[in-house]
A and B are shown apart, each in its own frame.
Chain A
Amino acid sequence: MTYTDEVLVLDDVTKRFGAHTVLDGVSWRIGPGITALLGPNGAGKTTLIRIVSTLEHLDGGRLTVLGHDVVRERRTVQQLLGLTGQHTAVDGMLSGTENLVMVGRLLGLSRLDARRRAGELLDQFDLADAARRRAGTYSGGMRRRLDLAMSLVRAPRVLLLDEPTTGLDPRSRRALWEQVRRLADDGTAVLLTTQYLEEADALADRIAVLDSGRLVAEGTAAELKAGAGGDVVEVLDEHGQPSGALSTDGTAGHVASVLRSLPGTARVQVRRPTLDEVVLQLTGKDAA
């Protein structure tokens, strides 16, 4: 068995749909823990996840999962991965238990083991009460949790989550974060995509920003904030609340000239940019 600190290695990964280059030579090393791939709609996040999970072909470059090539060792890679796609893949006509047992049986568990594992997962994801109900009657949050549980039947070593909390209310979102954290603590490497900075900030050990098929930044949240752009001059209203923000390149001269452009009576504070502002600078778009 390979012991490695490199979970995914992308080397010049390229993907085109017709004339449209969706991933433009992405090179990226992803280690253990939780990694967030952040980017606006259409950046290529789903495409990247689908290539890792063997659902799309590469047009160029190389990609390995724990040292196994996604093209040449497709079956091995599939054994290592769990995927929760952007659209939930639960069967609404089947109960929670039946959904999980079906996946267990397809993965080679005996009927008995599949039932036992289903029971464990239903407990773990707070679905025990709804176990016998059809998944079609579940709320969005419950469906998402069942979907996640279905990706975990065989305890994958690498979990891919494509916008796992999109469309969830804040409470369900927090509950799902908690589950993902627990999985990561147990040693599952997690790659998740998100449009929410808050989510990347709260969950991820490392964050990468994808924009139009290119990786434009990579690092911890603190590194990203420190690396990109300079301090922000924030203008405050009479209640001390921020009413506007002006970005600077971080040099004393630029900050001073920005301050001079404001009326002398203006109340201001100078601070580090938020992750939001960093991503806005990097991509020229709002992430959300």
Chain B
Amino acid sequence: MTTVAVREPLATTPPVRPGVLTPFTVFVGRSLRHSLRDPEALLMGIALPTLLMLVFTFVFGGAIGGDSRAYIDYVTPGIILLCAGYGAATTAVAVSRDMTTGTIDRVRTMPVPGVALLVGHTVASLLRNLFSTAVVILVGVLLGFRPAAGPVEWLAAVGLVALWILAITALFAFLGLVAGSAEAASGYGFILLFLPYASSAFVPVATMPSWLRVFAEHQPITPLTESIRALLAGVSPGGDAVAAVLWPLGVLAVALVLTAWRFPRTRSRLVH
């Protein structure tokens, strides 16, 4: 028996497919809205860079360099990277939240690539953190930071910062994917946030005990800080630049491979 029982799709809603880029722009827009409407994220983006600059310049600057003006030139790149770490860490929480609410299920049942959701969080994090970078530099300049970089050096320095933000954001997105909860997701980020303190970001590695020095010289923040510092001072970063590019690319590659493997296997964690 055959009856006309289930109606045909409404004439007003033909089975169109979204453009290839649409899901990505939609989710980037969503994540940016989240950032702008989340008072904590905004605070993180503006107050944290400002406070860190003030603390490092006036509290540590006097003690370490003797002259806080000179120390600003030294410490600004490190603070940029420190803020990038904090800013990127919020991506883990955002991704985790999407995995523990019904959002991922809704996206998975629509004819769009689910990874667009992660791309949205990542691009939003990149923009958010570049904004924080601008805040750090602005506060620095107000406090006496006088970069000697030309347009090419500026471009290269910002490029390195953006690459690093992208790399750790991708890593935090993966952590958000595997963490059992938003709280756990932010907890996992601890190691990454700790890296700048054990690097040449705030004090030269020569002042460190030898075991710490070995670590500091073989982790990404040191070549990144050295390169950005050199570029902003208007000089060539030399050999540090190679490590400063390869580290983020390596971290990014690992994060993308892990995510590509894990994402299709991720279920929403509120099933029952």
CB within 8 Å of B: which residues of A?
A: 1, 3-5, 7, 31-32, 42, 46, 50, 53-56, 66, 75, 78-79, 81, 83, 85-89, 91, 93-94, 98, 102-103, 105-109, 134, 147, 150, 154-155, 157-158, 186-189
Contacts and interface: CB of A to CB of B under 8 A. Distances in A.
Given A106-B26, A109-B16, A150-B106, A66 B6 contact: yes
A107 B268 CA distance: 21
17 contacts: A4-B2, A4-B6, A7-B5, A32-B5, A32-B6, A50-B105, A54-B108, A79-B111, A85-B268, A87-B101, A105-B22, A106-B110, A107-B18, A109-B13, A109-B16, A157-B8, A187-B6
Interface of B: 1-10, 13, 15-19, 22-23, 26, 30, 33-34, 37-38, 101-103, 105-112, 267-268, 270-272
A4 B16 CA distance: 23
Contacts of B3: 3, 5
A85 B105 contact: yes
A55 B269 CA distance: 12
Nearest to A41: B272
Contact of B15 (A79, A134, A150): A79
Contact of B7 (A83, A93, A102, A186): A186
A90 B110 CA distance: 15
B5 A89 contact: no
A78 B2 contact: no
Contact of A55 (B37, B103, B109): B109
A158 B26 contact: no
B6 to A, nearest CB: 5
Which 5 pairs show the lowest CB-CB distances between chains A and B?
Answer: A89-B102, A187-B7, A108-B16, A32-B5, A89-B106
Contacts of A53: 105, 109
B9 A155 contact: yes
A188 B101 contact: no
A87 B6 CA distance: 27
A17 B183 CA distance: 27
Contacts of B5: 3-5, 7, 31-32, 187, 189
Contacts of A103: 106, 110
Contacts of A78: 109-111
A213 to B, nearest CB: 13
Nearest to A120: B12
